[in-house]
Structure 1
Amino acid sequence: MTWVFWALLSAAFAAATALLAKVGVSGIDSNLATAIRTTVILVFTWAIALGLETHHGLAEIGRRSWLFLILSGICTGLSWLCYFRALQLGPASSVAPVDKLSVVLVIFGAWLFLGEHITPLKIGAASLITIGAAMLAFA
Protein backbone atom coordinates (compact mmCIF):
# COMPACT_ATOMS: atom_id res chain seq x y z
CA MET A 1 0.00 0.00 0.00
CA THR A 2 1.34 3.40 -0.99
CA TRP A 3 1.33 6.74 0.79
CA VAL A 4 -1.69 7.71 -1.33
CA PHE A 5 -3.76 4.90 0.18
CA TRP A 6 -2.84 5.96 3.73
CA ALA A 7 -3.43 9.65 2.93
CA LEU A 8 -6.90 8.91 1.55
CA LEU A 9 -7.68 6.79 4.59
CA SER A 10 -6.49 9.66 6.78
CA ALA A 11 -8.81 12.04 4.93
CA ALA A 12 -11.75 9.68 5.43
CA PHE A 13 -11.06 9.43 9.16
CA ALA A 14 -10.56 13.20 9.38
CA ALA A 15 -13.97 13.71 7.78
CA ALA A 16 -15.54 11.28 10.23
CA THR A 17 -13.75 13.09 13.05
CA ALA A 18 -15.31 16.43 12.07
CA LEU A 19 -18.81 15.01 11.80
CA LEU A 20 -18.63 12.99 15.02
CA ALA A 21 -16.96 15.83 16.93
CA LYS A 22 -19.61 18.34 15.82
CA VAL A 23 -22.28 16.16 17.42
CA GLY A 24 -20.14 15.29 20.44
CA VAL A 25 -19.14 18.85 21.29
CA SER A 26 -22.70 20.17 21.44
CA GLY A 27 -23.72 21.07 24.95
CA ILE A 28 -20.31 20.62 26.59
CA ASP A 29 -17.20 22.75 26.94
CA SER A 30 -15.00 22.42 23.85
CA ASN A 31 -11.84 22.08 25.97
CA LEU A 32 -13.38 19.21 27.91
CA ALA A 33 -14.42 17.58 24.64
CA THR A 34 -10.85 17.89 23.38
CA ALA A 35 -9.51 16.36 26.59
CA ILE A 36 -11.86 13.38 26.23
CA ARG A 37 -10.87 12.89 22.59
CA THR A 38 -7.18 13.17 23.44
CA THR A 39 -7.49 10.59 26.22
CA VAL A 40 -9.11 8.15 23.80
CA ILE A 41 -6.31 8.77 21.29
CA LEU A 42 -3.67 8.30 23.99
CA VAL A 43 -5.07 4.94 25.09
CA PHE A 44 -5.74 3.79 21.52
CA THR A 45 -2.30 4.64 20.14
CA TRP A 46 -0.42 3.16 23.11
CA ALA A 47 -2.48 -0.01 22.77
CA ILE A 48 -1.35 -0.25 19.15
CA ALA A 49 2.30 0.48 20.00
CA LEU A 50 2.27 -2.11 22.79
CA GLY A 51 0.33 -4.64 20.74
CA LEU A 52 2.75 -4.37 17.82
CA GLU A 53 5.69 -4.22 20.23
CA THR A 54 7.07 -1.04 18.71
CA HIS A 55 7.46 0.54 22.14
CA HIS A 56 10.87 -1.12 22.47
CA GLY A 57 12.29 1.60 20.23
CA LEU A 58 11.75 4.32 22.86
CA ALA A 59 15.32 4.07 24.14
CA GLU A 60 16.70 4.60 20.62
CA ILE A 61 14.96 7.92 19.99
CA GLY A 62 17.44 10.80 19.82
CA ARG A 63 17.12 14.18 21.54
CA ARG A 64 16.33 16.00 18.31
CA SER A 65 13.49 13.62 17.51
CA TRP A 66 12.13 13.95 21.07
CA LEU A 67 12.22 17.74 20.81
CA PHE A 68 10.41 17.87 17.50
CA LEU A 69 7.86 15.23 18.47
CA ILE A 70 7.10 17.13 21.69
CA LEU A 71 6.72 20.40 19.78
CA SER A 72 4.53 18.62 17.24
CA GLY A 73 2.40 17.26 20.08
CA ILE A 74 1.96 20.73 21.54
CA CYS A 75 0.92 22.07 18.13
CA THR A 76 -1.49 19.17 17.70
CA GLY A 77 -3.08 19.88 21.06
CA LEU A 78 -3.43 23.58 20.29
CA SER A 79 -4.87 22.76 16.87
CA TRP A 80 -7.44 20.40 18.38
CA LEU A 81 -8.46 22.90 21.06
CA CYS A 82 -9.01 25.55 18.39
CA TYR A 83 -10.74 23.11 16.05
CA PHE A 84 -13.22 21.92 18.67
CA ARG A 85 -14.00 25.51 19.67
CA ALA A 86 -14.56 26.40 16.02
CA LEU A 87 -16.84 23.36 15.61
CA GLN A 88 -18.78 24.43 18.66
CA LEU A 89 -19.31 27.91 17.24
CA GLY A 90 -19.71 27.23 13.52
CA PRO A 91 -21.07 24.71 11.04
CA ALA A 92 -18.86 21.69 10.38
CA SER A 93 -19.19 22.27 6.62
CA SER A 94 -17.53 25.67 7.07
CA VAL A 95 -15.04 24.87 9.82
CA ALA A 96 -13.50 21.85 8.06
CA PRO A 97 -12.52 23.68 4.84
CA VAL A 98 -10.86 26.50 6.79
CA ASP A 99 -9.01 23.90 8.87
CA LYS A 100 -7.75 22.32 5.66
CA LEU A 101 -5.92 25.53 4.82
CA SER A 102 -3.22 23.74 6.78
CA VAL A 103 -2.47 22.02 3.47
CA VAL A 104 -1.47 25.36 1.96
CA LEU A 105 0.58 26.26 5.03
CA VAL A 106 2.38 22.89 4.86
CA ILE A 107 3.23 23.38 1.18
CA PHE A 108 4.86 26.73 1.85
CA GLY A 109 6.38 25.67 5.18
CA ALA A 110 7.94 22.60 3.55
CA TRP A 111 9.41 24.85 0.87
CA LEU A 112 10.74 27.44 3.33
CA PHE A 113 11.96 25.21 6.14
CA LEU A 114 12.48 21.74 4.68
CA GLY A 115 13.84 22.69 1.28
CA GLU A 116 11.11 20.89 -0.63
CA HIS A 117 10.70 21.87 -4.26
CA ILE A 118 7.81 24.19 -5.11
CA THR A 119 6.53 24.51 -8.64
CA PRO A 120 4.14 26.92 -10.34
CA LEU A 121 1.65 24.04 -10.44
CA LYS A 122 1.85 23.63 -6.65
CA ILE A 123 1.45 27.37 -6.18
CA GLY A 124 -1.60 27.31 -8.45
CA ALA A 125 -3.07 24.30 -6.66
CA ALA A 126 -2.48 25.92 -3.26
CA SER A 127 -4.24 29.03 -4.55
CA LEU A 128 -7.20 26.92 -5.65
CA ILE A 129 -7.34 25.24 -2.24
CA THR A 130 -7.37 28.67 -0.60
CA ILE A 131 -10.11 29.96 -2.89
CA GLY A 132 -12.13 26.76 -2.48
CA ALA A 133 -11.82 26.83 1.30
CA ALA A 134 -13.00 30.44 1.39
CA MET A 135 -15.91 29.71 -0.92
CA LEU A 136 -16.99 26.68 1.12
CA ALA A 137 -16.59 28.45 4.45
CA PHE A 138 -18.47 31.60 3.58
CA ALA A 139 -20.99 30.36 0.98
Structure 2
Amino acid sequence: METSSNLWWIYALLSAFFAALTTIFAKIGVANIDANLATALRTLVIMPIVWGIVLAQGNISQLTTVSTRTLIFLTVSGIATGCSWLFYFKALQLGKAAQVAPIDKSSVVMTILLAALFLHEPLTSKVIVGGLTIVIGTLILLL
Protein backbone atom coordinates (compact mmCIF):
# COMPACT_ATOMS: atom_id res chain seq x y z
CA MET A 1 0.00 0.00 0.00
CA GLU A 2 1.32 3.42 -0.93
CA THR A 3 1.86 6.08 1.66
CA SER A 4 0.33 9.51 1.24
CA SER A 5 3.77 10.91 0.42
CA ASN A 6 3.79 8.76 -2.72
CA LEU A 7 0.29 9.73 -3.81
CA TRP A 8 1.21 13.24 -4.95
CA TRP A 9 1.48 12.13 -8.57
CA ILE A 10 -2.07 10.75 -8.58
CA TYR A 11 -3.35 14.11 -7.35
CA ALA A 12 -1.21 15.86 -9.99
CA LEU A 13 -2.68 13.68 -12.76
CA LEU A 14 -6.19 14.35 -11.48
CA SER A 15 -5.38 18.05 -11.43
CA ALA A 16 -4.22 17.90 -15.06
CA PHE A 17 -7.33 15.95 -16.09
CA PHE A 18 -9.69 18.41 -14.43
CA ALA A 19 -7.70 21.36 -15.80
CA ALA A 20 -8.25 19.91 -19.28
CA LEU A 21 -11.97 19.58 -18.60
CA THR A 22 -11.96 23.14 -17.27
CA THR A 23 -10.58 24.39 -20.56
CA ILE A 24 -13.17 22.58 -22.66
CA PHE A 25 -16.14 23.54 -20.48
CA ALA A 26 -14.90 27.12 -20.07
CA LYS A 27 -14.44 27.56 -23.83
CA ILE A 28 -18.06 26.52 -24.34
CA GLY A 29 -19.22 28.59 -21.35
CA VAL A 30 -17.64 31.89 -22.38
CA ALA A 31 -19.05 31.80 -25.91
CA ASN A 32 -21.94 34.19 -25.24
CA ILE A 33 -21.02 35.92 -21.97
CA ASP A 34 -18.48 38.43 -20.72
CA ALA A 35 -15.32 36.57 -19.66
CA ASN A 36 -15.16 38.39 -16.32
CA LEU A 37 -18.76 37.51 -15.51
CA ALA A 38 -18.02 33.90 -16.45
CA THR A 39 -15.07 33.90 -14.05
CA ALA A 40 -17.24 35.34 -11.27
CA LEU A 41 -19.90 32.67 -11.84
CA ARG A 42 -17.30 29.91 -11.78
CA THR A 43 -15.93 31.28 -8.52
CA LEU A 44 -19.41 31.14 -6.97
CA VAL A 45 -19.55 27.45 -7.83
CA ILE A 46 -16.11 26.67 -6.42
CA MET A 47 -16.50 28.41 -3.06
CA PRO A 48 -19.30 26.28 -1.54
CA ILE A 49 -17.69 23.07 -2.83
CA VAL A 50 -14.33 23.80 -1.20
CA TRP A 51 -15.87 25.09 2.05
CA GLY A 52 -18.13 22.03 2.09
CA ILE A 53 -15.09 19.75 1.87
CA VAL A 54 -13.35 21.66 4.69
CA LEU A 55 -16.46 21.35 6.86
CA ALA A 56 -17.01 17.67 6.00
CA GLN A 57 -13.42 16.83 6.91
CA GLY A 58 -13.71 18.75 10.17
CA ASN A 59 -10.81 21.06 9.33
CA ILE A 60 -12.65 24.31 10.10
CA SER A 61 -11.11 24.34 13.59
CA GLN A 62 -7.68 24.92 12.01
CA LEU A 63 -8.89 28.34 10.89
CA THR A 64 -7.96 29.82 14.28
CA THR A 65 -4.37 28.56 13.97
CA VAL A 66 -3.58 30.20 10.63
CA SER A 67 -0.58 32.49 11.03
CA THR A 68 -0.44 36.02 9.66
CA ARG A 69 2.37 34.97 7.30
CA THR A 70 0.27 32.08 5.96
CA LEU A 71 -2.75 34.33 5.56
CA ILE A 72 -0.71 36.94 3.66
CA PHE A 73 0.75 34.39 1.25
CA LEU A 74 -2.59 32.66 0.68
CA THR A 75 -4.19 36.04 0.04
CA VAL A 76 -1.53 36.97 -2.51
CA SER A 77 -1.88 33.50 -4.05
CA GLY A 78 -5.64 34.05 -4.27
CA ILE A 79 -5.10 37.36 -6.03
CA ALA A 80 -2.73 35.68 -8.49
CA THR A 81 -5.27 32.88 -9.04
CA GLY A 82 -8.02 35.41 -9.71
CA CYS A 83 -5.86 37.27 -12.21
CA SER A 84 -4.92 33.99 -13.88
CA TRP A 85 -8.57 32.97 -14.21
CA LEU A 86 -9.64 36.37 -15.57
CA PHE A 87 -6.93 36.40 -18.22
CA TYR A 88 -7.45 32.70 -19.03
CA PHE A 89 -11.18 33.11 -19.65
CA LYS A 90 -10.59 36.19 -21.81
CA ALA A 91 -7.95 34.32 -23.80
CA LEU A 92 -10.34 31.37 -24.25
CA GLN A 93 -13.06 33.72 -25.40
CA LEU A 94 -10.79 35.25 -28.04
CA GLY A 95 -8.64 32.29 -29.06
CA LYS A 96 -8.72 28.58 -29.72
CA ALA A 97 -8.59 26.28 -26.70
CA ALA A 98 -5.83 24.23 -28.36
CA GLN A 99 -3.68 27.37 -28.57
CA VAL A 100 -4.61 29.02 -25.28
CA ALA A 101 -4.01 25.90 -23.16
CA PRO A 102 -0.36 25.31 -24.17
CA ILE A 103 0.51 28.94 -23.49
CA ASP A 104 -1.28 28.74 -20.14
CA LYS A 105 0.64 25.57 -19.29
CA SER A 106 3.90 27.36 -20.03
CA SER A 107 3.35 28.43 -16.43
CA VAL A 108 5.26 25.21 -15.66
CA VAL A 109 8.44 26.80 -17.05
CA MET A 110 7.71 30.06 -15.24
CA THR A 111 7.17 28.07 -12.02
CA ILE A 112 10.53 26.32 -12.46
CA LEU A 113 12.28 29.68 -12.85
CA LEU A 114 10.45 31.33 -9.96
CA ALA A 115 11.02 28.29 -7.73
CA ALA A 116 14.74 28.51 -8.44
CA LEU A 117 14.78 32.25 -7.77
CA PHE A 118 12.59 32.47 -4.67
CA LEU A 119 12.56 28.94 -3.19
CA HIS A 120 16.17 28.12 -4.13
CA GLU A 121 15.13 24.89 -5.80
CA PRO A 122 17.97 23.50 -7.93
CA LEU A 123 18.07 24.02 -11.69
CA THR A 124 19.52 20.64 -12.60
CA SER A 125 20.28 19.67 -16.17
CA LYS A 126 17.16 17.46 -16.12
CA VAL A 127 14.99 20.40 -15.03
CA ILE A 128 16.51 22.70 -17.66
CA VAL A 129 16.09 20.15 -20.48
CA GLY A 130 12.52 19.42 -19.36
CA GLY A 131 11.70 23.15 -19.26
CA LEU A 132 13.20 23.73 -22.69
CA THR A 133 11.22 20.77 -24.02
CA ILE A 134 8.01 22.35 -22.74
CA VAL A 135 8.91 25.64 -24.42
CA ILE A 136 9.71 23.89 -27.71
CA GLY A 137 6.51 21.83 -27.51
CA THR A 138 4.47 24.97 -26.86
CA LEU A 139 6.05 26.71 -29.86
CA ILE A 140 5.38 23.69 -32.08
CA LEU A 141 1.71 23.68 -31.06
CA LEU A 142 1.41 27.39 -31.82
CA LEU A 143 3.14 27.50 -35.18
Report the TM-score range of the alignment, normalised by the length of the smaller protein: over 0.9
Matched, 1:12 2:17: yes
Matched, 1:62 2:67: yes
Alignment partner of 1:116: what SS?
A: coil
Structure 1 residue 131, shift from structure 2 partner: 1.2
Q: Which stretches of structure 1, 4 residues or more, deviate above 2 A after TM superposition?
A: none
Q: Select the residue among 34, 39, 58 that pairs with 1:29.
A: 34
- Aligned partner of 2:109 in structure 1 is 104
Structure 1 residue 19, shift from structure 2 partner: 0.4
TM (norm. structure 2) is: 0.94
| AA in 1 matched with 2:100 | V
Matched, 1:3 2:8: yes
Q: What pairs up with 1:35-54 in 2 under 5 angstroms? A: 35-54=40-59
CA deviations over 1:77-115 (Å, ceiling 9, x no partner): 000000000000000010000000100011111111001
| AA in 1 matched with 2:51 | W
Once superposed, what is the RMSD of the aligned Cα atoms? 0.8
Structure 1 residue 118, shift from structure 2 partner: 1.4
Q: Distance in 2 between matches of 1:6 and 1:87?
A: 25
Aligned residues: 138
Structure 1 stretch displaced more, 50-59 or 62-71: 50-59
Structure 1 stretch displaced more, 89-98 or 126-135: 126-135
Q: Distance in 2 between matches of 1:82 and 1:15?
A: 17
Structure 1 residue 135, shift from structure 2 partner: 1.6
Unaligned stretches of 5+ in structure 1? Answer: none
